[in-house]
A = this chain, B = another copy of it.
Amino acid sequence: MTGGLALAGREKLGDMGPDEFRDALGLVADWVARYRERVRDMPVLAQVKPGEMRSALPAHVPRAGDRVEQWLEDLDRIVMPAVTHWNHPGFMAYFGITGSAPGILGELVSAALNVNGMLWKTCPALCELEEVVLRWLAGALGLPESWFGMLTDTASTSTLVALTAAREMAGLDVREEGLAGHPPLVMYCSQEAHSSVEKAAIVLGIGRKGVRRIVVDEAYRMDPAELESAIVEDVASGRKPFAVVATVGTTSVTAVDPVGDVAQVCRKHGVWLHVDAAYAGSAAMAPEFRWALAGCELADSLVTNPHKWLFTQIDCSALYTSRPDAFRRALTLVPEYLKTEASGVTDLMDYSFQLGRRFRAIKLWFVLRYFGSDGIAARIREHVRLAGLFAAWVDEHPSLERLAPVPFSVVCFRVHPPGVDGEGELDQLNARVLDQVNRQGRVFLSHTKLRGKFVLRLAVGNLATAEADVEAALDEVCAAAGIAGRAR
CA distance in complex: A15, B33 (Å): 13
Instruction: Report the minimal beta-carbon distance from A451 to chain B, rounded to whole angstroms.
Output: 12
Residues of B within 8 A of A104 (CB): 25, 108, 111-112, 114
Residues of B within 8 A of A378 (CB): 13
Instruction: Report the minimal beta-carbon distance from A144 to chain B, rounded to whole angstroms.
Output: 14
CA distance in complex: A252, B339 (Å): 13
Q: Which residue of B lies closest to A338 (CB)?
A: B195
CB-defined interface of A192-227 with B at 8 Å, one 1/0 digit per residue? 001110111111111111100000000000000000
| Known contacts A6-B467, A115-B97, A370 near B16 by CB under 8 Å | yes
CB-defined interface of A5-33 with B at 8 Å, one 1/0 digit per residue? 01100100111101011101110110111
> Could you tell me if A375 and B446 are in contact, using CB atoms closer than 8 angstroms?
no
> Could you tell me if B122 and A84 are in contact, using CB atoms closer than 8 angstroms?
yes
Judge whether A416 is part of the interface by a CB distance below 8 angstroms.
no
Residues of B within 8 A of A429 (CB): none
> Could you tell me if A83 and B154 are in contact, using CB atoms closer than 8 angstroms?
no
| Known contacts A10-B466, A29-B29, A179-B205, A435 near B101 by CB under 8 Å | no
Nearest 5 CB-CB pairs, A to B? A205-B205, A178-B207, A107-B111, A82-B125, A16-B101
| Known contacts A61-B136, A156-B356, A18 near B2 by CB under 8 Å | no
Judge whether A307 is part of the interface by a CB distance below 8 angstroms.
yes
> Could you tell me if A123 and B156 are in contact, using CB atoms closer than 8 angstroms?
no
Judge whether A393 is part of the interface by a CB distance below 8 angstroms.
no
Judge whether A464 is part of the interface by a CB distance below 8 angstroms.
yes
> Could you tell me if A468 and B1 are in contact, using CB atoms closer than 8 angstroms?
yes
CA distance in complex: A176, B129 (Å): 41
Instruction: Report the minimal beta-carbon distance from A472 to chain B, rounded to whole angstroms.
Output: 10
Judge whether A140 is part of the interface by a CB distance below 8 angstroms.
yes
| Known contacts A16-B101, A25-B29, A205 near B202 by CB under 8 Å | no
| Known contacts A116-B314, A331-B202, A379-B13, A180 near B177 by CB under 8 Å | no
Number of copies: 2
Q: Which residue of B lies closest to A79 (CB)?
A: B125
Residues of B within 8 A of A79 (CB): 125, 129
Residues of B within 8 A of A59 (CB): 135-136, 139
> Could you tell me if B65 and A94 are in contact, using CB atoms closer than 8 angstroms?
no
> Could you tell me if B33 and A25 are in contact, using CB atoms closer than 8 angstroms?
yes
CB-defined interface of A105-131 with B at 8 Å, one 1/0 digit per residue? 101111111111000111111101101
CA distance in complex: A6, B233 (Å): 56
> Could you tell me if B251 and A61 are in contact, using CB atoms closer than 8 angstroms?
no
CA distance in complex: A474, B357 (Å): 30
> Could you tell me if B112 and A35 are in contact, using CB atoms closer than 8 angstroms?
yes
Q: Which residue of B lies closest to A307 (CB)?
A: B356
Q: Which residue of B lies closest to A336 (CB)?
A: B449
Stretch touching chain B among A48-56, A267-275, A289-297:
A48-56
| Known contacts A156-B356, A342-B50, A370-B65, A337 near B375 by CB under 8 Å | no
Residues of B within 8 A of A366 (CB): 68, 71
Judge whether A66 is part of the interface by a CB distance below 8 angstroms.
yes
CA distance in complex: A53, B449 (Å): 49
Judge whether A355 is part of the interface by a CB distance below 8 angstroms.
yes
Residues of B within 8 A of A199 (CB): 331, 333, 353, 355
Judge whether A398 is part of the interface by a CB distance below 8 angstroms.
no
Judge whether A232 is part of the interface by a CB distance below 8 angstroms.
no
| Known contacts A25-B104, A204-B205, A356-B153, A86 near B114 by CB under 8 Å | yes
CA distance in complex: A484, B201 (Å): 59
> Could you tell me if A128 and B54 are in contact, using CB atoms closer than 8 angstroms?
yes
CA distance in complex: A123, B107 (Å): 20
Q: Which residue of B lies closest to A125 (CB)?
A: B82
> Could you tell me if B45 and A337 are in contact, using CB atoms closer than 8 angstroms?
no
Q: Which residue of B lies closest to A6 (CB)?
A: B467
CA distance in complex: A108, B87 (Å): 15
Select A83's contact among B45, B105, B125, B155, beta carbons within 8 Å.
Answer: B125
17 pairs from A and B in contact (CB 8 Å cutoff): A2-B466, A13-B382, A14-B463, A16-B100, A16-B101, A51-B128, A51-B344, A53-B124, A62-B368, A65-B375, A84-B122, A84-B124, A99-B111, A178-B210, A179-B179, A199-B353, A200-B353
CA distance in complex: A62, B370 (Å): 9
Judge whether A36 is part of the interface by a CB distance below 8 angstroms.
yes
> Could you tell me if A87 and B105 are in contact, using CB atoms closer than 8 angstroms?
no
CA distance in complex: A363, B114 (Å): 13
Q: Which residue of B lies closest to A184 (CB)?
A: B180
